[in-house]
Amino acid sequence: MQQVPSNNINPWLEIPLEDYERHMLHDTVGQLTLLNGLTKKYLSMIKPDICLFMGVAGGNGLEHIDNTVTNQVFGIDINQDYLDFCNDRFKNKIDHLSLLLLDITKNSASICHAQFIWAGLILEYTGISSGFEFASTNIASAGHFITTIQSNNNLEAVSPTGVESIRKVSAISHAIDPGEMLQVAAESGYRLINHEENALPNGKSFLTYHFVYQ
């Protein structure tokens, strides 16, 4: 579990969604676009009936939900403002959308049995164990868990983009060791079936791992 700064306010509660998305869309970062494409790819591949998005924020990638295939979509986040924006964007586009305020470092409650769980850049903030524990209480047998982690490649964790508020998250961001993550995954009943690496404009890269829950 990651430690929140001494003022006890999680930095994600102090960053406007506009700032977060502006940072992630910056030409030198390119993360929002890549995550969107990965979401589309795996939704198209898996065609799930029930989806769960861990750290849904403003709903990046939800536009790829096919209502003729997917009957329920759950999104969780620690920031209610993010959830409100997400609801405004997609309430009329996704037939059954449930958005829940939840901190998975403190609550691993079961809210669904998803065939598809998407965890893009969230383990860096929740910790590996908390992330997999929450996923395990919400995934169906033979369900797919896809997580993307960032490889900094010896660069600073939060890239400079001129969006100063986003720098606050460096206080709770920790690089994920892929070997440790794979060990926890295996011990938690997940079988790795594929992984890929995608380069980012700033020299960092995304490592995406596709697991199936046994």
Which pLDDT score, from 0 to 100, does residue 102 have? 97
Which pLDDT score, from 0 to 100, does residue 144 have? 98
Picking from 20-24, 80-84, 183-187, which range would have the lowest pLDDT averaged per residue?
20-24
Picking from 100-109, 114-123, 151-160, which range would have the lowest pLDDT averaged per residue?
151-160
What are the tens digits of pLDDT across the range 43-56? 999 999 999 999 99
Instruction: Indicate the pTM of the whole model.
Output: 0.90
- At 59, the pLDDT band (50, 70, 90 cuts) reads very high
What are the tens digits of pLDDT across the range 155-194? 554 555 556 577 787 787 889 999 999 999 999 999 999 9
CA-nearest of 205, 183, 207, 181 to 196 is 207
Residue 212, pLDDT above cutoff 80: yes
Mean pLDDT of 85-97: 97
Mean pLDDT across the chain, nearest whole number?
Answer: 90
Residue pointed to by tokens 């850049």: 121
Residue 152, pLDDT above cutoff 60: yes
- At 23, the pLDDT band (50, 70, 90 cuts) reads confident
Residue 3, pLDDT above cutoff 80: no
Q: Which is more confidently placed, 61 or 1?
A: 61
Instruction: Please tell me the distance from the alpha carbon of residue 61 to that of residue 59, in angstroms, as a whole number.
Output: 6
The listed CATH number (3.40.50.150, 3.40.50.1820, 3.30.43.10, 3.40.190.10) that belongs to domain 11-213: 3.40.50.150
What is the distance, to the nearest Å, from the Cα of residue 144 to the centroid of all Cα atoms in its chain? 14
CA dihedral 108, 145, 153, 18 (to 10 degrees): -70
